[in-house]
Structure formats: structure tokens, C-alpha cells
Homo-oligomer: A and B are copies of this chain.
Amino acid sequence: MDHWILTQALGRGKAVEDRFERLTFTRLVDTVAGYPRGSVVLPDGSIVSGYPSIARVQSLAAGLRRHYSGPFWAEEKIDGFNVRIVRYGQTHYAFSRGGFVCPFSTDRLPDLMDPAVFDEDPQLVLCAEIAGPENPYLEGHPPQVAEDVALFAFDMMHRARPGFVSQDDKMRLIARYGLPATRIFGRYQPEDTEPLQQLILQLDAEGSEGLVFKGEEDGSRAKYVTGRSNVSDIALCGDQLLDLPPEYFTNRLLRLALFASENGQVGDAELERSLGRAFIAGVARAVERSREVGRVGVPFRCRFRQRRNAEHFIAHMKATGGKRIMIAEDMPRREGRYWVLEFERVLERMTGTLANTLAGASQYD
């Protein structure tokens, strides 16, 4: 990026200088010169572009017709967190969506992928989802990751030019370097509603989150989730009923009903029961927790290879989460060849409201 533009962006608060160990870099906190928030400028001036927001389609047939006029690819959407992985010098870094170095992902990269792909092109940016029950950010995880975390590559970018690497090149590199990647279901046309509907119903039954579509020509992306992924989200977050924006729940209910309506699932007793259970069990879990310990929180557990990365992560959590993050004094704790970190994100509104309510407080509404 042009030095003058960057200096101006820093002056206007649209970019921030940051550092992780020996790497100093600039993180965009707003769009600058066409690069979105979360883009990273490395010391050599090369740019790791921010990963763009993806449009969400809520009606399959109508959405595809409106979004695409030519062929597109359908890939699995993974319920994890998005990182962009780069090699700089001899070191690999994983940047979060916001453009921070993620100490957890960076630490675990050697366990998750072979970095040989960067030998072929050191300027490559690998976009991947990191997902699994032992991740430090999200409550949910895909059913195929039974323990710890796994990495799913799904896109590639390049530090020397904007835009995504083409689907063909991406598929070739994934195959050649044996990169763990999201499932690619194939190439479709906008009128292929029927096979895509069959596909999404299969994913719905498997417990998968859904699909991401990628236009072959312009690379434009769109996502479409399964009905049951909404139920899973609600089941995981029911105890956060008052701490998440209420639209978290209403948006998912709307998507679920649209999906059920488009796929003949309205009246499905098992679906109804699972949604009801998601809410009642989730909120009741918070009520029980409030009765037992006077506090409601979400527990997290993850493991690090290196103690100092766990400490970087703790410092980041404390800086951004403040009092809401509870970490025991003895963390991280050595377990086998890993440093395990367990912590709890306290749900302040549920904690406060349930404590008052269970003490008999009344409310006016």
C-alpha cells in the first residue's frame, strides 16, 4: 500500500499500528483505498486483504436466480472462525477477521496444516476456518470435528494483488499440498435448484452448517444455511438469551421457518421438539447455574503448544473482555505436550437478571 495513504489512514484513525512478538504491522479498522476493515499491511508493504462479508441468501431458488447469472461453485460452510494465514520471513501467522494476529491459531498451525504450500508461493494468503470443540471463541463446532480443533482451507488470496485466487488454482494447490479443506460439492448453474435443494437437505440431516456459493466469473460469494444449524445455534446459546442481541434469536427463527417452509418441514414433530428443547434446556441450564454458583457463564477450553502464546491470548482476552473473562490463577496448565487454558466468559445480564429474579424481585413490563 502507498506509504502516504497509509500514513494518512493512521492519522485519521482508520488504521492502527500493532505488533505480535517480532512482527510489526498495520491493521485497518475502516475501509482504506478499497481494502476493508481487517486488512493487514505487512512491513514490506504487502497487503493481506480483509476477508469480505458474505451476503446471506434466505430463499434458495430465488436467491440463486438473483445472485448468479453464470456458473458458481458450492462448498461446505464450516462453523468455525475465519483466519488468514501467511508466511512472513520464516514465520507463519494467522490473522483474525479483525486483523489481529490470533495467538491461538498461530500457535497451533504446525498441528493443523503442512506449510509447504508457501514454498511454492510465499506471497499466498490461505483463508481457512478453524473449528472444533476446543476453540477459544465459539460455542459450536462442526460434527466432523470430535475433539480439539481442525483447519479447513476454503479460499486463497495473494499479497501482491486484490481478489481471490481462482477456483481452479485453489483446487490445484489444495490437492497438490494435501491441505485440509472444506468439501467442494461441485459446479452449478443458477437453475440447478433441485440438486442444490437435495444437497442442503442432506447437509441439514448431517448437522452441517450449510453452503457457500462462489461465482466462477466474478468470485462473488453468498451463503445459505441449513434449517437445523439455526436450532443448533439456539441450543448452544439459549443460556445467553439476554446477553446476545435479541435479533440473534429472531433472525435464526425467521431463517428456520423459511427453510422449513421451502423444504416441507413445517409440522415436523422432531424439528419442533428440538427447537423447543433448544430454548427451554438452554435457559434452564442458566437458571440451574445461577442457583448453584450465582453466576452464568460459557466455559471454554483450548490447548497451546507454547506457553507464551497462551499468555499472549490471555492478555488479549483481558484487554478486550475485561471483567467478563474469568481465568483461574493456575492457567495455562501443562497437560501432556500441551498447555491447556480453561476460562469462562461471564454472561453479565443473565447473571444479574437471574440472581434478582430467583431472589423474588418483580418487574414492570
Contact = CB atoms under 8 A, between A and B. Distances in A.
Interface string A241-252: 110001101110
A145 interface: no
Interface of A is mostly: helix
Contact of A57 (B246, B253, B256, B360): B360
Contacts of A55: 362-364
A358 to B, nearest CB: 5
A161 interface: no
A249 to B, nearest CB: 7
A108 interface: no
Contact of A254 (B251, B271, B281, B283): B283
Contacts of A257: 238, 279-280, 282-284, 286-287
Contact of A359 (B62, B281, B286, B358): B62
Contacts of A279: 253, 256-257, 275
Contacts of A274: 272, 276
Nearest to A64: B360
Contacts of A361: 63, 66
Nearest to A247: B246
Contact of A272 (B59, B277, B359): B277
Interface in A334-365: 353, 357-365
A269 interface: yes
Interface in A98-117: none
Contacts of A62: 358-360
A206 B59 CA distance: 39
Nearest to A244: B250
A41 B272 CA distance: 51
A45 to B, nearest CB: 30
Interface stretch (A9-17, A128-136, A179-187, A260-268): A260-268
Contacts of A67: 360, 362
Given A250-B246, A272-B273, A57 B362 contact: yes
15 contacts: A62-B358, A66-B360, A67-B362, A222-B362, A249-B249, A253-B279, A253-B283, A256-B280, A258-B283, A258-B287, A261-B287, A266-B284, A272-B272, A272-B276, A273-B273
Closest 8 CB pairs of A and B: A246-B246, A257-B283, A66-B360, A62-B360, A272-B276, A275-B276, A55-B362, A276-B276
Given A61-B360, A241-B253, A272-B276, 14 more contacts: A55-B362, A55-B364, A56-B364, A62-B360, A241-B254, A246-B249, A249-B250, A254-B283, A261-B284, A261-B288, A266-B281, A266-B284, A271-B280, A274-B276
